[in-house]
Structure 1
Amino acid sequence: MSEHAPQVHGHCDARFAAVRTAFEENFREPGELGAAVTVMVDGVTVADLWGGWADRARTRAWERDTLVNVWSTTKGPVALCAHILADRGLLDLDAPVAAYWPEFAAAGKEGVLVRHLLSHRAGLSGLREPHTLEQLCDWELTTGRLAAMEPWWEPGTHSGYHAMTYGFLVGEVVRRVSGLLPGAFLEREVTGPLGIDFTIGLPEKEAGRAAELVHSPAASSGEQSAVLSRLAPAAIAALANPPLGAEQANSAEWRSAEIPAANGHGTARAVAALYAILAGRGSHAGRRVLSAEAAERVREGQGSCRDLVLGAVLARDTEIGLGLWLSGPTGSYGPNPRAFGHDGFGGSCGLADPEAGLSMGYVMNRMGPHIADDPRKTALVKAVYEAL
């Protein structure tokens, strides 16, 4: 490593030495600030690495237990909550959402199914009216507006990434069925019993362990305008209402709220463990969380298409299962097209490959400009599969 690259800590099985090499290289060329990666095979940790800095000023080292906001990588654990309820017969994925949330039937949404929420096909990618961060942090206000709004497109026909609304939509169904918001449900059913260091929102007592997010250099206003000009109103609503970035995610307001699409906080080890439940066909660390059939259902493809929100950015067709993205022909989660996972805004990632018994968590605090397939993540995934 160069004299300017930070020391990497942790362990890595000799077979997975390429993962350490790729992780170290991320601190050179892509300019990683602080990060961690954990890889599990059949539930056994084969790589657990961390390094760099937890803050922009480089005064706090990234430690073994440093927490960081992982943005949309949170959506996998939220989907898991819904699948646990379905597995217990308490939630029917083919039932209308309004069967559990009667107010949701407004504005022609009586035919929207629970599976449409999980697969980003509900037509509710973002709110039509301006929505501030303060309002986003208000659960009742946000879910009330979603229940009342008219869909942007005919539900069930296309996927359109529900960047922020996903967590409120799936989360409100979880709350109506279980009586708990998804953060509390996840803690009771999964992270508490398994000892997984992951929360939706960040308890104030854990603030000292949290890394500071740092955004990539801002695009010029002209570049931003050019990007927005290519997007349909449904995409602008999803990605820019309200506008969010590192500054907002570092705030006490964001950390204290329940925003289940985007404000999960955890370690790479925690992300790998959560996705290991799916890689292990419903079981991890000797505990069965889902039946094998329910775990398989998570990656049940809902149809490949050009996503109505991300299509203009990714410039390719994608396919979403019932809560997570399939690796598909482009190999976003490795060469197995049926591997699946979720990326987080700026770079983080959770991955599950049941055929390989593989799960991976990658977290970082310097956000790149990519919504998906950040080069740092891609390099790590490539190294993992080369080692298998």
Structure 2
Amino acid sequence: MITSLAVLMLVDSGAISVHDKVSKYWPEFATNGKEDVEIRHLLSHTSGVAGWDDKITMDEVCDVGPSTAKLAQQAPWWKPGTASAYHAWNFGHLLGEIVRRVTGLSLKQFVAERIAGPLGADFQIGVLEKDWSRISNFIPTPASAATADIKHGPLFLRAIGNPIPSPEMGKSLGWRNGEIGASNGYGNAYALNTILSTITLAGYEDVDKRKHLLSKPTVDLIFEEQSSGIDLAIGVPIRFGIGFALRGDGDSWVDDWLPAGRVAYWGGSGGSLGIMDIDRRATITYAMNKRSNSLIGNTASRAYIGAIYEALGVNVE
């Protein structure tokens, strides 16, 4: 979510366009059938490069330079732009390289200097050693239930199961010092809300000027549908816009617990979730340390979301 915001900020400034080819900024990427992949394809998980061809370790994923270079040499797993497959591990590698090539800043630096810092949000990509004592350790999902409710698309093992995460990975130096924009952001629900509300409230004059990270036309881009159908990795129907998934029209797996309208969302393994409800000017975030057997949202987060909308008098059925 934060990686998407970083790239959308570059779009908003005019530094890049979502319709630019990736190779305009990253020439090495234009090989093996990826010559026409555009920025919007990376932002919508439709690039065809949803993971690594070869088996890869978590330590190798954390070594961002070499692991990103490997992605540049691969052929797409399907025709780019025709379907989605959740880029669970490499979303930040691909888009972080765009940020680096355009700004000269690493994704970690960009988030610190241009997003979290100005907003006063307690959020980092990776985590500084001085903050290690504040990390809340994950309570893992019981092994017997680890994948009980997770649906599998045909690319699940290649995109999400390579590498295979472990309960101990968050304690490694490589992980804590790493820059995995898809998965090793450190923060809390309040910090996420502070950041994501810049999307929800974009264009409103009554909003603190520090929150003006995007203009309304850039937020409108988020709602330009890029794909809609069964995600090849997760195996459920997802409607993707540019940077985020979108509430559908009865054809998306979130439609029975999110209200109709301009609602964007995404989440993380274990149950975390962020919702930007543009129509109602509501930003809802949920983060936890007790993991569930869910890739995006869980029973607790959905109950929490339902209670919030009920309090707002919003019908989600």
Query: Cα offset for 1:282?
Result: 5.4
Query: Cα offset for 1:333?
Result: 6.3
Residue 211, structure 1, aligned to residue 128, structure 2: no
Residue 96, structure 1, aligned to residue 21, structure 2: yes
| Secondary structure of the structure 1 residue equivalent to 2:283 | strand
Give the one of 345, 350, 356 matched to 2:269.
345
Give unmatched runs, 5+ long, in structure 2: 313-317
Query: Cα offset for 1:298?
Result: 2.1
Q: Is the 8 A contact 1:202 1:265 kept in 2?
A: yes
4+ runs deviating over 6 angstroms: none
Aligned to 1:295: 219
Aligned to 2:209: 286
Percent of matched pairs sharing the same residue: 36
Q: Return the alpha-carbon distance in structure 2 between the equivalents of residues 359 and 302 of structure 1.
A: 23
AA matched with 2:259: P
Q: Return the alpha-carbon distance in structure 1 between the equivalents of residues 36 and 118 of structure 2.
A: 36
Q: Return the alpha-carbon distance in structure 1 between the equivalents of residues 103 and 176 of structure 2.
A: 23
Q: Is the 8 A contact 1:319 1:325 kept in 2?
A: yes
Q: Is the 8 A contact 2:200 2:277 kept in 1?
A: yes
Q: Return the alpha-carbon distance in structure 2 between the equivalents of residues 361 and 242 of structure 1.
A: 27
Give the one of 174, 180, 183 matched to 1:259.
180
Query: Cα offset for 1:118?
Result: 0.2
Give the one of 57, 77, 99 matched to 1:174.
99
Cα distance 1:358–1:138, how it changes in 2: closer, same or farther (>3 A)? Answer: same
Residue 199, structure 1, aligned to residue 124, structure 2: yes
Instruction: Report Cα offsets for 1:74-117 as digits up to 9, x if no partner.
Output: xx111111111111111111011001000000111101111000
AA matched with 2:192: V
Aligned to 1:148: 73
* TM-score normalised by length of structure 2: 0.91
AA matched with 1:258: E
Instruction: Report Cα offsets for 1:280-323 as digits up to 9, x if no partner.
Output: 02565332111111122123221311111111xx3xx2101111
Worse-superposed segment, 163-172 or 294-303: 294-303
Q: Is the 8 A contact 1:333 1:341 kept in 2?
A: no
Q: Return the alpha-carbon distance in structure 2 between the equivalents of residues 219 and 171 of structure 1.
A: 36
* TM-score normalised by length of structure 1: 0.75
Aligned to 1:11: none
Q: Is the 8 A contact 1:333 1:351 kept in 2?
A: no
Q: Whose strand proportion is higher, 1 or 2?
A: 1
Q: Return the alpha-carbon distance in structure 2 between the equivalents of residues 374 and 359 of structure 1.
A: 18
- Which is greater in Rg? 1
Q: How many residues align?
A: 305
AA matched with 1:273: T
Residue 319, structure 1, aligned to residue 257, structure 2: no
AA matched with 1:194: L
AA matched with 2:31: A
Give the one of 111, 119, 126 matched to 1:186.
111
Q: Return the alpha-carbon distance in structure 1 between the equivalents of residues 272 and 261 of structure 2.
A: 20
Instruction: Report Cα offsets for 1:126-167 as digits up to 9, x if no partner.
Output: 111011111101111111000001111011111111111111
Worse-superposed segment, 288-297 or 107-116: 288-297
Give unmatched runs, 5+ long, in structure 1: 1-75
